[in-house]
Amino acid sequence: MKIAVAGTGYVGLVTGTCLAKIGHTVVCVDKEASKIAQLQRGESPIYEPGLEAEIVAAKDAGRLHFTMDYADAYREAEVIMIGVATPENTDGSANLQALYQVCEQIATSITSPTLVVVKSTVPIGTNDRLAAYFDQLLGDSRKNWVEVASNPEFLSQGTALRDTLQAERIVIGTESQEAADILTEIYTPFDQPILKMNRRSAEMVKYASNDFLALKISFVNDIANLCEAVGADIDEVTSGMGADSRIGSRFLAPGIGYGGSCFPKDTKALHWLAEEAGYTLKTIRAAIDVNEKQRFKLMQAARKDIPLFAGKKIAVLGATFKPGTDDLREAPSIPNLQMLLNEGADVHVYDPVGLPNLENVFGSRLHYGESVASVLQGADACFIFTEWAVFKEMDLALFHTMHEPRVYDGRNCFSVKAAEQAGLQYYSIGRARVGGAVFA
């Protein structure tokens, strides 16, 4: 099938690449010339394990193309999928400007009836409004030419290919059997369960899924904080919880909160939507509040040991919001780095893939290390914000190259026993504290 995909971010690019991999002819559209030029050379503009190789393979097979010419792409397509960003407005609502711009481009380009599939995360009711908007744009002569379907994505950065090619379910929301049949035909080669429902339910599935996971993260962080207060060990607690099949072990890792392009935005968007509908989602409000406070747990602990950061060399391991990606959006590291800089600290950062993006944010205000060892040398304290494997597997003796081996671990990369045996002053989330004044 001929498919056009609007947007070459995580959603659009991964979707287009995977659809081409299973045999469809796909053209991805973007307004950024530099991104299209990169993709035409077979280079991925985003860091995602395995993605660039799949782009090259599909491109070489003649099934994946990239263009800025939206009119030609949309005119030739049987199905148009939209994967543009819907960022957060200042009030927490979703900004749909890019989505509506694409719809306007589609309306001016198509010359025959077309199925438009919205993969972007949008507030409940958006696709119904888009259907009415298309009728308005197309006029009486082309009325009902566009059928709008909701087909939310459930990919995670770092595992996006697997999440798409081996998804646990495919959700399609339509208002006609014809649209449902077309989407079923597209996705049949994936051999995954297809859940069919109306558009509003499909939109809600996406928000409810992400917000439940965010709630689970905030819950375990709240419990971890209580563990510190009462002397329990969060690792042992989550081991006992996760063994219950009704709970499961995923998303029970304590830390300094969630980040990224989805959870922060989607929790606020659903909370805003509920308020607009006259209902308060108290659980989601609590998840948001817990996450906001959790980001600064390490700083709170460190201040008891180092009241003033001015003039101190601070080592930072990890900047991205999670391992497996170069994405810094809503990463807990960012406000902490800003705070350290504002207080006059000399901050040295190492991240396996995130440094180019970090430099775009902070410029020369930070020192960017080439290795773990390079940032630890002579440091007064070390903060761990991301649980990259290179940190979890490092030789803890490296911390003794610091001025004093004070480690504030926001992702529980090391066991308490290992930190003890290594002679560290070690603070982690929800567990016993090891050595040092802050840990007395």
The Cα–Cα gap between 286 and 295 comes to: 15
- Tokens standing for 147? 């059928």
- The active-site residue, picked from 28, 227, 262, 413, is 262
Reported as a single tens digit per residue, the pLDDT across 40-68 is 999 999 999 999 999 999 999 999 999 99
Domain ranges in the chain are 2-197, 206-294, 297-439
The Cα–Cα gap between 400 and 349 comes to: 17
C-alpha torsion 77→78→79→80, nearest 10: 20
Q: What is the mean pLDDT of residues 277-290?
A: 97
- Residue numbers in the known binding site for NAD(+) are 30, 35, 86, 121, 265, 329
Residues in the chain: 440
| Residue 262 is a catalytic residue | yes
Q: Is the dihedral of CA 193, 194, 198, 203 positive or negative?
A: positive
Place of tokens 């939109």: 203
- Evaluate if residue 437 carries a pLDDT over 80: no
Bridge partners (DSSP) of residue 348 are: 315, 367
Q: What confidence score (pLDDT) does residue 436 get? A: 62
Reported as a single tens digit per residue, the pLDDT across 150-190 is 999 999 999 999 999 999 999 999 999 999 999 999 999 99
Supply the pTM of this predicted model: 0.93
The Cα–Cα gap between 233 and 226 comes to: 10
Angle (deg, nearest 10), helices 199-230 and 263-276: 110
Reported as a single tens digit per residue, the pLDDT across 140-157 is 888 889 999 999 999 999
| 439 confidence band (pLDDT: 50, 70, 90) | very low
Mean residue pLDDT of the chain comes to 96
- Tokens standing for 45? 């503009």
What string of H, E and C letters represents the secondary structure of the chain? CEEEEECCCHHHHHHHHHHHHCCCEEEEECCCHHHHHHHHCCCCCCCCCCHHHHHHHHHHCCCEEEECCHHHHHHHCCEEEECCCCCECCCCCECCHHHHHHHHHHHHHCCCCEEEEECCCCCCCHHHHHHHHHHHHHCHHHCCCEEEEECCCCCCCCCHHHHHHCCCCEEEECCCHHHHHHHHHHHHHHCCCEEEECHHHHHHHHHHHHHHHHHHHHHHHHHHHHHHHHCCCHHHHHHHHHCCCCCCCCCCCCCCCCCCCCHHHHHHHHHHHHHHCCCCCHHHHHHHHHHHHHCCHHHHHHHCCCCCCCCCEEEEECCCCCCCCCCCCCCCHHHHHHHHHHCCCEEEEECCCCHHHHHHHHHHHCEECCCHHHHHCCCCEEEECCCCHHHHCCCHHHHHHCCCCEEEECCCCCCHHHHHHCCCEEECCCCCCECCHHHC
Q: What confidence score (pLDDT) does residue 143 get? A: 84
Q: What percent of the chain has pLDDT over 90?
A: 97
- Which residues in 122-146 are b (16+ Cβ under 10 Å) and which e? bbbebbbebbebbbebbeeebeebb
CB 305, CB 436: distance < 8 Å: yes
Q: Is the dihedral of CA 254, 255, 257, 261 positive or negative?
A: negative
| 287 confidence band (pLDDT: 50, 70, 90) | very high
**Superfamily designation of domain 297-439:** NAD(P)-binding Rossmann-like Domain (3.40.50.720)
Q: What is the mean pLDDT of residues 366-390?
A: 98
Q: Which of 151, 169, 177 is nearest to 11 (CA)?
A: 151
The Cα–Cα gap between 440 and 436 comes to: 7
CATH architecture observed for domain 2-197: 3-Layer(aba) Sandwich (3.40)
**Superfamily designation of domain 206-294:** N-(1-d-carboxylethyl)-l-norvaline Dehydrogenase; domain 2 (1.10.1040.10)
Reported as a single tens digit per residue, the pLDDT across 404-430 is 999 999 999 999 999 999 999 999 999
CB 111, CB 146: distance < 8 Å: no
Angle (deg, nearest 10), helices 333-342 and 355-362: 40
Q: What is the mean pLDDT of residues 239-264?
A: 97
Q: Is the dihedral of CA 300, 301, 307, 311 positive or negative?
A: negative
